[in-house]
Structure 1
């Protein structure tokens, strides 16, 4: 499976968050791909708990989850590019306020 090596490099080099703002950035990235990660909410729970008011204290569990999410994001099929040598279908739908597409 072909993957975008620049995206993989960005995910793999993401530094460990040192603040709530940094953690929000990482969770924003992983949340964008959440539909491709089984049980994302359960996996990311130790990190989302750090977002509570006055609760940011990095733990070994947070380090493990952070590394696991980085590994999951940098492996196929999450960052997998479509195979342009085969046929695929893009279904689109639009309304007055938004546009959606699904790649089959």
Structure 2
């Protein structure tokens, strides 16, 4: 474990297992995805990031689950196209939308 001090009385603890750069890259990728999403598609992304399932999202906003699946399919195509355009070479599952 690495300890970084910003002042004598103020200590921040950073675990060596945390890859800060990966977190920044993930945040940048998420921001780029946000830029290509419609409002409804982004709602789907936000809800999935909170761990909600398609049926829960559909019930919450009052639509049929198939509507959510269609949004997911449109978003997947957009993200895949975007990742090809920027020549994304991340991990095997990093660019997938669940």
TM-score, structure 2 normalization: 0.27
- Comparing both chains, which one has the higher relative contact order based on Cα–Cα distances under 8 Å and sequence gaps of 6 or more? 1
TM-score, structure 1 normalization: 0.26
- Structure number with bigger Rg: 2
